[in-house]
Structure 1
Amino acid sequence: MTRIDNGPERDRRQEDSRSGGQRLPNDERRLHSSSFGAAAGAYAEHRPDYAQAAVRWALEPAPGPRVLDLGAGTGKLTGTLLAMGVDVVAVEPDPAMLAELRRGNPAVRALAGSAETIPLPDGSVDAVVSGNAMHWFDMDLAGPEIARVLAPSGVLAGLWNVFDDGADWVAGFAAVTGSAAIGPRDVPASWRVEAAGMHLPRKGGDARFDSPEQAEFPHGQGRTADSLVATLGTKAGVLVMPERQRDAPLSRTRAYLESRPETADGAFTLPMLTSVLRVRRS
């Protein structure tokens, strides 16, 4: 595990990112966040799960076992929670994503709803977690809703799977693919600047929550060139492209992977990190 400093310099970067830095305008954010249903099957097949150590750290301060997976998508984080024996309920707004979640996790209570309108009673969960989704929430509305459903001293945690660009070939992969396909949360350095404090309420910005803590956990994923290209095809930056433009970043990526000794010959391990932000309800 890597703990990340929460000092003044990071607070300054948080304010910079909140002031508009890299965040999408609301209309673009809605377009991107609603794009995944068209690729729900591919998302369920190719997106990675989450490091159990990261999930354990996220839930460590929770006062009890009841967990809400919010913006649960096709159930990638839900499945990790289930494997850990957690008492989980999932909430997802997209009908196609919710259908995949229910198909893959038939025993889970899975509800239609959103972060801005959570279909649960007050104080009904001890933790709210969100996997690769919290950056889509309208926190002006979602923050009070999350605080409402959390028990006293409950935990809110966002988890993001990011490519570990400490490996040369992964850094090259990110450069070749381009920012239209790989967003700012997809590599560690950008994630720390853009995600920290922007999507989690924090002391001084929302008195319902204490200041955030951050940590990162190694989480390698088995891949082939085909499956990694398919994973890239489930990114919002690709899904919102006009169809005629989607082939270009995917073709560049495939050519790059076929040119690298680390990835040219069958299966390989994609170095990843599960990055976590957590806060406690005041």
Structure 2
Amino acid sequence: MADEMATSFGAQAGDYEAGRPDYPFEAVAWMLERMPAGSRRVADVGAGTGKLTRVLAKAPGAEVVAVDPDPEMLATLRGAVPGVPTFRGSAERLPLPDASVDAVVLGQAWHWVEPIAASAEIGRAVRSGGVLGLIWNLRDDRVEWVRKLTEIMHGSHAELMLAEGDPVVAAPFGPLEQERWEWSRPVTRDVLHRMAASRSYIITAPEDEKERIHRELDALFDELGLHGDTTIDLPYVTRAYRAVRD
């Protein structure tokens, strides 16, 4: 089931693009701060629809490539971030030459990989002194209505993994550094439904479970008075990690 979930997102690429948040620029910049001076070639692995890619592409002089196993996600990315080269592949099997990039970053993706194999393969593609960056946008469940939202949808693989501790990164990368940012974005009822529809648990759930989730979400949104174009601030905690290649 985990493999099915990991490769399920292409079926809902439009909902993923519309429902998922972008990443704070300062968090992305922090991940790349440890790159050697003059470095600028970055691979976004598990790039999906380009949520992280578009932030990377804004960095002055950046040369970004996007890698994802799902052709439907990459097709959406090419529309959202024109001009960025895209390749099919995964963290464990990168379509990149040895020592060809200065950094590899993964947004909402490391919880889907085998960390020992992925660390070794990314280490092959990253130059000595280069960086591995990991980043997640997590809803802030300290807020009551957000906690109810998560209870209805179920916690994600990322939320469960990070609740147990920091992600595992192995050789040839050194110790993990980490930082966090708190922020919020205004969302409508429709955006929240699309965000829910883009989650792997719901994409792969039986129809009766999807109907149960949709019904309970509607009840929550009614309780919040969220109708039409009305918005509510959805709070997030962005957690970022970085490690330097030996």
Q: TM-score, normalised by structure 2?
A: 0.91
Q: Is the 8 A contact 1:155 1:279 kept in 2?
A: yes
Q: Is the 8 A contact 2:111 2:157 kept in 1?
A: no
CA distance in 2, matches of 1:51, 1:173: 23
1:37 aligns with 2:7: no
CA RMSD of aligned residues (A): 1.8
Q: Is the 8 A contact 2:18 2:194 kept in 1?
A: no
CA distance in 1, matches of 2:173, 2:183: 28
Could you tell me which amino acid in structure 2 is paired with residue 84 of structure 1? A
* Offset, 1:191: 5.5
* Offset, 1:178: 4.3
* Identity, % of aligned positions: 37
Gaps of 5+ in 2: none
* Offset, 1:278: 1.5
* Offset, 1:157: 1.1
Report what 1:197 is aligned to. Answer: 167
CA distance in 1, matches of 2:221, 2:187: 11
| Residue deviations 1:34-68 (CA, integer Å, cap 9, x gap) | 11111112212221110111101111111111111
The DSSP-based 3-state class of the residue aligned with 1:276 is strand
1:110 aligns with 2:69: no
CA distance in 2, matches of 1:224, 1:195: 32
* Offset, 1:145: 1.0
CA 1:191–1:141: 2 relative to 1, 3 Å: closer
Match of 1:247 among 211, 227, 235: 211
Report what 1:267 is aligned to. Answer: 231
- 1:209-224 equivalences under 5 Å are 209-224=173-188
Bigger shift: residues 68-77 or 251-260: 251-260
The DSSP-based 3-state class of the residue aligned with 1:89 is strand
Q: Count residues in correspondence.
A: 242
1:49 aligns with 2:22: yes
Q: Is the 8 A contact 1:185 1:194 kept in 2?
A: no
CA distance in 1, matches of 2:56, 2:165: 23
CA distance in 2, matches of 1:197, 1:159: 10
Q: Is the 8 A contact 1:52 1:84 kept in 2?
A: no
CA distance in 1, matches of 2:132, 2:244: 6
Report what 1:227 is aligned to. Answer: 191
| Residue deviations 1:83-138 (CA, integer Å, cap 9, x gap) | 33332111111011111111211211111221111111111111110110111112
Report what 2:35 is aligned to. Answer: 62
Q: Is the 8 A contact 1:209 1:281 kept in 2?
A: yes
Q: TM-score, normalised by structure 1?
A: 0.80
Q: Is the 8 A contact 1:185 1:195 kept in 2?
A: no
CA 1:244–1:277: 2 relative to 1, 3 Å: same
Gaps of 5+ in 1: 1-27
CA distance in 1, matches of 2:171, 2:53: 29
